[in-house]
Amino acid sequence: MVYICGDTHNIIDIDKLDVESWEDGAFLTKNDYLIVAGDFGLIWDLQQSKREQELIEWYNSKPWTTLFIDGNHENFNRLFSDEFPEIEMFGSKVKKISDSIFYLQRGNIYTIDRMTFFTFGGGQSIDKNRRHPNVSWWPQEIPDYEETNHAIQSLLSVQNCVDVIITHTCSNESFEELANHFDFSYKSDSEKSLKDFFSWVQENVSYAKWYFGHFHADYNLSIGNQHALYAKEPMLVEL
């Protein structure tokens, strides 16, 4: 089985993964998967730390295997480096954080539990004016041209047809629906290229479900089986 949840932000929003509150979690095995839709925040400190290792051990102790895409709150200098080995898994390449934690990279297509997943992380930190470059926010949070082109080529290789899309942010149209429903103004000028790309994906790719985090909201959109995730317990991915 595959479950998915919204941002965990290191330990800030991790309570939804406690088996006391997420009853299904207690009955999973390492052959079941939990996917975090960005802002996982596990790899955050400037170098390996005791705090980080304790959190890795916490995830390793869980009955399931944890997968994640990147959001905007990750230490990309480390995540994109050679610190974590790139291995073959689910029919593509992942980065291995531990025996029970794996990073699903931007623009890849994975086959997990007989379902195909297209993953593409990234997003804008709207609070980066209060953060420090390469200390508490990283320029790689916005995907570049090569990453987007790789994503397009991956989608073309499967005739623009997947079962599930997992992103951190969303398309222009989905953002407008969220903004209208929750009455918030989320300024994201530097995120426009990413939203434009997801609008292209929305129009050109056939999919059954699309999940994203980022907006700290739980909401089922009227647009094509899209779901914003944040605080609620993980959702079972069912086609």
pLDDT band at 207, cuts 50/70/90? very high
SS3 letters across 169-218: CCCHHHHHHHHHHHCCCCCCHHHHHHHHHHHHHHHHCECCEEEECCCCCC
Which pLDDT tens digit goes with each residue over 73-122? 999 999 999 999 999 999 999 999 999 999 999 999 999 999 999 999 99
Burial class (CB in 10 A: 0-12, 13-18, 19+), 191: buried
Q: 144-173 pLDDT, tens per residue?
A: 999 999 999 999 999 999 999 999 999 999
Beta partners for residue 108, in sequence order: 119
The rounded distance, in Å, linking the Cα atoms of 4 and 166 is 9
206-225 average pLDDT score:
96
Q: How far apart are CA 136 and CA 152, in angstroms?
A: 30
Closest residue by Cα to residue 142 from 120, 166, 173: 120
195: nearest Cα among 168, 218, 222? 168
| 17: containing domain | 2-236
Dump pLDDT digits (tens) for 40-62: 999 999 999 999 999 999 999 99
Q: Domains in the chain: how many in total?
A: 1
pLDDT at residue number 188: 58
Mean pLDDT of the chain, nearest integer: 96
Encoded tokens for 34 = 């939990």
DSSP structure string for 91-150: TEEEEEEETTEEEE-TTEEEEETTEEEEEE-----TTGGGS-BTTTB-GGGS--HHHHHH
Beta bridge partners of 222: none
Tokens 């029919």 label which residue? Answer: 91
Strands 86-89 and 92-98: antiparallel
Orientation of helix 192-204 relative to helix 145-157, angle to 10°: 10
Tokens, residue 194? 């990413």
Instruction: Please report, for the domain that includes residue 175, its CATH number.
Output: 3.60.21
What are 91-98's contacts with CB under 8 Å, separation 24+?
94/67, 97/42, 97/43, 97/56, 98/56, 98/59, 98/60
